């Protein structure tokens, strides 16, 4: 999967598009995909859009299949002459990005929805390292 650049998209436009919920119908079943949470982590030229999605299946207002949930990692970047674009990945692809909010892992429990246990452990380790760095900086400032 490569990069996709919607014509003239700003970062704000792209984020709004990537987290917009949608609904469709197939064989009398309504399929609804809803973004439960999202956040952007990055700067003015590139970053990562994390999102949690849920898909439900209903017919005549009754649920007809188990809900699905998953975590999405969209890499976003600005490219001269193209505007903002994205490359989408899911947790199952083990994206080599680990800044996913830990609460997103809780929204998509492994035992209920599946996922990538190895990637999730890397996310937890990333957050532990960040916490240790913040503690170390605070400690250094208090000794000045």
Rounded CA separation 14/122 (Å): 27
Look at residue 3 and tell me if it is in a domain: no
Alpha carbon distances (Å) from 57 to 44, 50, 75: 38, 24, 28
Task: Using alpha carbons, select from 1, 15, 35 the residue that is nearest to residue 85.
Answer: 15
Q: Which pLDDT belongs to residue 29?
A: 97
Count of domains in the chain?
1
For the chain, 144 residues long, the average pLDDT of each consecutive 10-residue run is 89 96 96 98 94 97 96 95 93 92 97 96 96 87 70
pLDDT at 9: 92
Q: Is residue 2 part of a domain?
A: no
Q: 16 lies in which domain range?
A: 11-142
Residue 142: what pLDDT? 73
d(CA 26, CA 53): 20
Q: What are phi and psi of 16, to 5 degrees?
A: -60, -40
Alpha-helical (H) ranges within 42-116 are: 102-107, 110-113
Whole-number pLDDT of residue 137: 85
Spatial distance between the Cα atoms of 31 and 67, rounded to a whole number of angstroms: 10
In a domain, 101, yes or no: yes
Burial of 112 (0-12, 13-18, 19+ CB in 10 A): exposed
pTM score, two decimals? 0.89
Residue 85 placed within a domain: yes
């Amino acid at each position: 999967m490569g990069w996709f650049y919607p014509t003239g998209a700003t970062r704000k436009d792209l984020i709004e598009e990537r987290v917009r919920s949608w609904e469709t119908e197939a064989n009398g079943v309504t399929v609804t995909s809803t973004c439960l949470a999202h956040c952007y982590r990055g700067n003015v030229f590139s970053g990562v859009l994390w999102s949690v999605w849920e898909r439900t299946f209903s017919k005549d207002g009754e649920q007809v299949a188990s809900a699905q949930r998953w975590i999405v990692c969209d890499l976003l970047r600005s490219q001269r002459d193209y505007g903002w674009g994205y490359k989408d990945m899911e947790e199952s692809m083990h994206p080599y990005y680990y800044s996913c909010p830990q609460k997103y892992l809780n929204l998509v429990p492994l035992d209920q929805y599946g996922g990538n246990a190895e990637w999730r452990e890397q996310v937890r380790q990333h957050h532990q390292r960040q916490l240790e760095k913040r503690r170390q900086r605070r400690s250094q400032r208090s000794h000045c």
